[in-house]
């Protein structure tokens, strides 16, 4: 029986008292048992008498039982050992050696987090020396401008044009190639600008399809304002409210000079992660429309990204 007052527990109710008082395997001594055909009349049936087997049958039964149990035990041990070795082989084949930060294809996945810098890390079991070097024009660390071009340089005797033919990029984009003198390097020019904020992962494979080198770059994205408090055109705003501006990137610095309020309001600034807060020194004036303007040019010091439009609310 389920008790709604005790979630997750079950209580078994005892059977009715009348049920416990009745044994379906017992027969009322006063109840007559029908006689077999051809037999004489029979009276009430008495208690069932136990019929003991001869001693030699009981002894042989014990021996047979012990022998059967021993056979089952040995067969079970053999089957368990055989199954264990097969499981071990399957488990080993299910976990190929890959780079700790690699996905199914051996490349870093999007869940690896933001890219800090474009450095070469040799794959497990490969030579510590890179086969090729991929660089981006105008890169700042791993960040590249939207009109960036790439240069693939061979680090061994392989022609750079042959390496470029085995180079892939995800997400894919079309590009043209131009060999430098001696075919030691190839210039790769995207057919259209890169998508702002996207991470592009390059993979170089050998003639047999094996993964040789990988690189990743992130296209620059202008710093943007993604939220304000109060929201634009809000009404009935509390007079003790603070004014907040939230950006889409960390590391915003020197944003205070870009913010102005009309009518002029005294107060102080606080920075909390991606949010810049302005706390007025005194309550705002009732029934007054306030206008906040944030001018372009607020930058992220680590990447150089900055706002490119003015915001007003």
Mean pLDDT by 10 residues, the chain (313 residues): 45 44 44 47 50 55 58 57 39 30 35 39 56 92 92 94 96 95 96 94 94 93 94 95 94 93 96 95 96 96 89 96
120 and 208 inside one domain: yes
Q: How far is CA 30 from CA 27, 41, 174, 206, in A?
A: 8, 15, 100, 95
Q: Which of 155, 184, 219 is the last residue of a domain?
A: 219
CATH assignment of the domain containing 207: 2.60.40.1220
Nearest to 158 by CA among 120, 190, 123, 130: 130
Q: What is the pLDDT of residue 71?
A: 65
277 within some domain: yes
15 within some domain: no
Number of domains in the chain: 2
Q: Which of 195, 219, 243 is the last residue of a domain?
A: 219
3-class state of residue 87 by DSSP: helix
189 and 211 inside one domain: yes
260 within some domain: yes
208 within some domain: yes
83 within some domain: no
Contact 277, 243 (CB under 8 A): yes
70 within some domain: no
Query: Does this model's pTM top 0.75?
Result: no
Q: What is the pLDDT of residue 130?
A: 80
- Nearest-angstrom CA–CA distance, 197 and 83: 51
131 and 214 inside one domain: yes
35 within some domain: no
- Nearest-angstrom CA–CA distance, 275 and 280: 16
- Nearest-angstrom CA–CA distance, 69 and 62: 11
Contact 190, 173 (CB under 8 A): yes
Domain containing residue 283: 225-312
Q: Does an H or E element contain 203, and which? A: strand 199-205
Contact 186, 160 (CB under 8 A): yes
114 and 204 inside one domain: yes
């Amino acid at each position: 029986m389920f008790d709604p007052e005790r979630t997750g527990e079950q209580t078994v109710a005892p059977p009715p008292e009348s049920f416990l008082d009745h044994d379906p395997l017992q027969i009322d001594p006063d109840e007559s048992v029908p006689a077999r055909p051809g037999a004489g009349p029979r009276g009430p049936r008495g208690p069932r008498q136990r019929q003991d087997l001869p001693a030699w049958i009981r002894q042989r039964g014990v021996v047979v039982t012990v022998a059967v149990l021993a056979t089952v035990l040995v067969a079970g041990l053999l089957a368990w050992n055989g199954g264990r070795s097969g499981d071990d082989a399957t488990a080993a084949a299910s976990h190929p050696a890959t780079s700790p930060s690699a996905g199914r294809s051996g490349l870093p996945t999007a869940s690896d987090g933001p890219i800090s810098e474009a450095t070469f890390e040799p794959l497990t079991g490969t030579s510590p020396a890179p086969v090729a070097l991929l660089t981006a024009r105008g890169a700042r660390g791993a960040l590249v401008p939207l009109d960036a071009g790439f240069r693939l340089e061979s680090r061994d005797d392989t022609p750079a044009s042959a390496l470029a033919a085995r180079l892939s990029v995800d997400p894919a984009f079309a590009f043209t190639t131009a060999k430098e003198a001696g075919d030691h390097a190839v210039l790769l020019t995207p057919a259209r600008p890169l998508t702002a904020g996207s991470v592009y992962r390059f993979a170089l494979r050998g003639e047999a399809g094996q993964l040789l080198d990988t690189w990743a770059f992130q296209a620059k994205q202008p710093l943007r304002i993604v939220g304000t408090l109060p929201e634009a055109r809000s009404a009935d705003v509390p007079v003790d409210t603070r004014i907040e501006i939230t950006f889409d990137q960390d590391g915003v610095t020197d944003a205070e000079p870009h913010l102005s309020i009309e009518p002029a309001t005294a107060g102080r600034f606080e920075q909390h992660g991606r949010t810049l807060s302005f706390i007025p020194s005194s309550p705002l004036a009732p029934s007054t429309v306030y206008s906040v303007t944030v001018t372009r040019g607020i930058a992220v010091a680590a990447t150089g990204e900055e706002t490119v439009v003015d915001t007003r609310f």
